[in-house]
Amino acid sequence: MKAIAYDRYGPPSTIRLRDLDRPTVGDHEVLVRVRAAGVDPGVLIFLTGRPYLVRLAAGLRRPRVPVLGRDVAGVVTEVGARVTRLRPGDEVYGTSLRGSYAEFTATHERRLAAKPTNLTFAQAAAVPISGMTALRAVRDTGQVRPGHRVLVIGAAGGVGSQAVQIAKAYGASVTGVCNPTAIDAVRALGADEVLDYTREEIDRDGPVYDVVIDTGGNRPLSLLRRALAPRGTLALVGGDWTRGAVLGGYGRQVLGAPLLSTVVGHRLRAVSARERVEDLEALRDLIESGALTPPIERSYPLAETADALRHFTDGHPIGKIVITVDAPG
């Protein structure tokens, strides 16, 4: 099968389109014919091996998994001996730890759910990691309720664009923060108000937000707290991963917020997505009800994955970048 492979950490030019053997399936795994795969910062982190912390999971000296990519949408073609939920022919979406930028990937059945019927494969591949993270931030960490005022920083990004829509579905009044080129798009997602981060700061209106969801990852905790209502919740999703070789910008999450939270009235919480079927199913309900549609900036064929990754890093995309895979005969 064709796959986007890498055998050392580096920039997008490191990757190669190669012929590899199809993965074999374990007892609880299924083989998926990949139709589309999403791009998110995690892919760049695994590709570059930066911040170094990621190498504890990805391989200390070189990548342990040779194929890039995690989000996937496609069709089940084979099931392992103990798989109970899925059958060949099922259209699915979810994640794979064995690389999704390939014609086939094998993944645990509990990482997949039925694809929303009203989405294309490309749209479905844009959802899993970003959507599960957005859902966690809004529903679990933020505990957003009808009437809450919610601020979403990075509202045009992969997580933010879905967090805006999910917070609206939960009955909140939403303010999105984005760059000026994305203002109309963020309004179209349903945001009631939009702040242009090149002109206005998030504490413009004082401490008014019940929940602040930060996917931008580059503001100090003190500034974020100035926008939070007394007893409000800060949901820290992002750390600017390009900042700092060891922890990236994730120091706020792993050190600052937990320590500060013990002495201030605000709830300061790091959001970590659990990749699980229940959340994919909850997202499918939101999608099929019309409350959530992942915005796609652009799709690239598998052979142009390096261009897709460069565009993701430098192009200020509005919504998601997706890799599409032609179904082999």
Q: Residue numbers of the site for ligand NAP (CB under 6 A)?
A: 40-41, 129-130, 133, 153-154, 156-160, 177-179, 197, 215-218, 237-239, 241, 271-273, 316
Cβ atoms within 10 Å of 252's Cβ, excluding its own: 25
Q: Which is nearer to ligand NAP, 30 or 234 (CB)?
A: 234
Distance, CA of 93 to CA of 116 (rounded, Å): 8
* Nearest-angstrom CA–CA distance, 67 and 45: 14
Name the residue type at position 201: E
CA distance 180 to 59: 39
Distance CA 5, CA 167 (A): 37
C-alpha–C-alpha distance, residues 38 and 17, integer Å: 17
Nearest to 313 by CA among 207, 241, 213, 225: 241
How many Å separate Cα 267 from the centre of its chain? 23
DSSP 213-234: EE-S--S-HHHHHHTEEEEEEE
Nearer to ligand NAP, 54 or 75 (CB): 54
Least distance CB 36 / ligand NAP (angstroms): 16
Closest contact distance (angstroms) between CB of 34 and ligand NAP is: 20
Instruction: State the Cα–Cα distance between residues 200 and 252, nearest whole angstrom.
Output: 23
Rounded least distance, CB 80 to ligand NAP, Å = 27
**Alpha helix stretches (DSSP H) within 62-208:** 121-125, 128-135, 158-169, 183-188
Q: What is the DSSP-derived secondary structure letter of residue 310?
A: H
Identity of the residue, 92 or 271, whose beta carbon is nearer to ligand NAP in the bound complex:
271
Nearer Cβ to ligand NAP, position 33 or 168?
168
For ligand NAP, the closer CB: 79 or 215: 215
In terms of CB distance, is 79 or 177 closer to ligand NAP? 177
Q: Which is nearer to ligand NAP, 79 or 141 (CB)?
A: 141
Residue 200 or 285 having the CB closest to ligand NAP:
200
Q: How far apart are alpha carbons 182 and 265 in whole angstroms? A: 33
User: Whose structure tokens read 């019927």?
Assistant: 117
Contact in structure between 135 and 202 (CB atoms under 8 Å): no
Smallest gap from Cβ 82 to ligand NAP, in A, equals 28
> Which residues have a Cβ under 8 Å from the Cβ of 278 and sit 6 or more positions away?
none
